[in-house]
């Protein structure tokens, strides 16, 4: 057994851990990163964001091809199975792993493979893996172990037709009918993916609407287009049991309904990866979902230990995890650049995708903020008419007196890209954050960005 000393030890090599490690290394600190996998990248690269978004892109491209009338003159509509599009997604995973491994080597970050086990607040023993038995001693420790799908004990995930969002990536065929329980971000994204492959999808939602945290109009638009793509959405239905059969599954709901399908996917919640860290040795107690509590500097109750990413819960986004990792390592080094990230944009990669930043109409109404709405429908923009991706809308919420931008909400092709123009203007200081920017500046034509000018003029006309 050997002991190695570092200024900073990071547990987990996903977006949060990578960002924390790189920031510390750039500041001249000695840094080690621990991951239980042989390959770096964390859940984001191997089982979460990257494979699911690569899957989504392949399916979306297939759908665009099949609905393009120009291609019908030369070919019949194409059909792809799930293993084929999954194989395409795995090539992206490989590229991501290679790229991130180079980052660590270039910045002289030591990478250790194994399970991290706290001995005390500064010392971490490596168990299992290539470096089993070694101890890493760190002045500061950053926990970035991510999360995994929550698995209720009453669901038999060993059955070959019962999946969660990790196991579904190993699916070897394409079911004809599939039930997805849970209509949050993951459930909605996979419902879009499978329906795009021609699978009949039942999306069972314990709540009253899809993605209730989103703007109501955007949520309604998503519901409409998912139904239009063949997804059967069942609201206000709660899980009772699922039985795995030789030929498929039978889902029973508390309402008494039973649904038969070829496959079942549980997509209702995630749990933080903290159970093997031996946190009791350092006086930390995660909540019932394995998540850790932190302050505005991402510091836990132990002075030298920080936690970032999915392991601290909301918003559980890769984009936020990058910021949190940088913020935590800056706080540990006291470099003056640490701050808590709160106004985080949301990108949800359904088909069509949706994205938002700032407040929605419901929140502004509850706060009694006088606001107005400006809208641009994609079907009215030249670029969308050219590409044929004319489903969607850009919606700007602004103060009816000061014209200050209060929220940007987008639905449709490239929504997550389009949103960042509005986000950038919202962050302008000294009165620069107003609707007037969009009417006083020139946008390339034809572009999707032009939707901002259209929406701004629409909003001013309402005034």
Provide the annotated binding site for NAD(+). 182-189, 269
CB 237 within 8 A of CB 209: no
User: Which residue positions form the known binding site for FAD?
Assistant: 53, 145-147, 310
Distance between CA 400 and CA 37 in Å, rounded? 52
State how far the alpha carbon of 122 is from the alpha carbons of 119, 133, 141, 304, 375, in Å.
8, 16, 7, 8, 54
- Contact predicate 128/295, CB 8 Å: no
CA 351 vs CA 284, 383, 385, 414, 439: distances in Å: 41, 19, 18, 10, 30
Q: Which residue ranges make up the annotated binding site?
A: 53, 145-147, 182-189, 269, 310
CA atoms of 459 and 450, how far apart (whole Å): 14
Question: Using N-to-C axis directions, what is the helix angle for 82-106 and 49-67, rounded to 10°?
Answer: 140
Q: In 3D, which of 424, 276, 404 has the Cα closest to residue 357? A: 424
Which neighbouring-strand residues pair with 117?
A: 125
Residue among 372, 447, 443, 450 at smallest CA distance from 405: 372
Pairing mode of beta strands 232-234, 200-204: parallel
- Helix, strand, or coil (residue 319): helix
From residue 461, alpha-carbon distances to 266, 383, 435, 438 in Å are 46, 23, 12, 14
Query: For residue 103, with 0-12 CB atoms within 10 Å meaning exposed, 13-18 middle and 19 or more buried, which class applies?
Result: middle
| C-alpha span between 299 and 303 (Å, rounded) | 7
Measure the CA–CA gap between 184 and 34, rounded to whole angstroms: 30
Please calculate the CA angle 378-417-201 and round it to the nearest 5 degrees: 75
> What is the sign of the dihedral through the CA atoms of 29, 35, 38 and 43?
negative
CA 382 to chain centre: 30
């Amino acid at each position: 057994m050997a002991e190695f000393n570092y200024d900073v030890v990071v547990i987990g090599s996903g977006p949060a851990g990578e960002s924390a490690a790189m920031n510390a290394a750039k500041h001249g600190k000695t840094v080690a990163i621990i991951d239980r996998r042989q390959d770096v990248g964390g859940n984001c690269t191997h089982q979460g964001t990257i494979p699911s978004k690569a899957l989504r892109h392949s399916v979306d491209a297939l759908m665009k091809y099949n609905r393009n009338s120009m291609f019908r003159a030369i070919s019949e509509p194409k059909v792809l199975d799930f293993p084929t599009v999954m194989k395409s997604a795995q090539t992206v995973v490989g590229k991501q792993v290679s790229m991130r491994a180079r980052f660590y080597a270039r910045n002289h970050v030591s990478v250790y493979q194994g399970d991290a086990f706290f001995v005390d607040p500064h010392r971490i023993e490596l168990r299992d893996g290539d470096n089993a038995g070694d101890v890493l001693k760190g002045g500061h420790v950053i926990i970035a172990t991510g999360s995994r799908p929550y698995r209720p004990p009453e669901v038999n995930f060993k059955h070959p037709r019962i999946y969660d969002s990790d196991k579904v990536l190993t699916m070897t065929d394409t079911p004809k009918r599939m039930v997805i329980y849970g209509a949050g971000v993951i459930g909605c994204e996979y419902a879009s993916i499978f329906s795009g492959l021609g699978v009949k999808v039942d999306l069972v939602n314990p709540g009253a609407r899809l993605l209730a945290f989103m703007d109501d109009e955007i949520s309604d638009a998503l519901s409409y287009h998912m139904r239009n793509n063949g997804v059967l959405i069942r609201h206000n239905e709660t899980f009772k049991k699922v039985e795995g059969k030789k030929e498929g599954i039978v889902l029973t709901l508390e309402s008494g309904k039973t649904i038969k399908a070829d496959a079942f996917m549980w997509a209702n919640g995630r749990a933080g990866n903290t159970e093997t860290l031996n946190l009791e040795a350092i006086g930390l107690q995660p909540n019932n979902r394995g998540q850790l509590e932190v302050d505005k500097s991402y510091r836990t109750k132990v002075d030298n230990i920080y936690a970032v990413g999915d392991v601290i819960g909301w918003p559980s986004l890769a984009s936020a995890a990058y910021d949190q990792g940088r913020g935590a390592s800056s706080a540990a080094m006291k470099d003056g650049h640490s701050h808590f990230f709160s106004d985080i944009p949301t990108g949800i990669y359904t088909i069509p995708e949706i994205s938002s930043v700032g407040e929605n109409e419901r929140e502004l109404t509850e706060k009694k903020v006088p606001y107005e709405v400006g809208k641009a429908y994609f079907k009215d923009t030249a670029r969308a008419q050219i590409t044929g991706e004319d489903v969607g809308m850009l919606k700007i919420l602004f103060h009816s007196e000061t014209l200050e931008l209060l929220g940007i909400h987008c639905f449709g092709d490239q929504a997550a890209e389009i949103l960042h123009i509005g986000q950038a203007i919202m962050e302008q200081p000294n009165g620069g954050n107003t609707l007037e920017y969009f009417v006083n500046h020139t946008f390339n034509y034809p572009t999707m960005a032009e939707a901002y000018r259209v929406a701004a003029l629409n909003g001013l006309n309402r005034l």
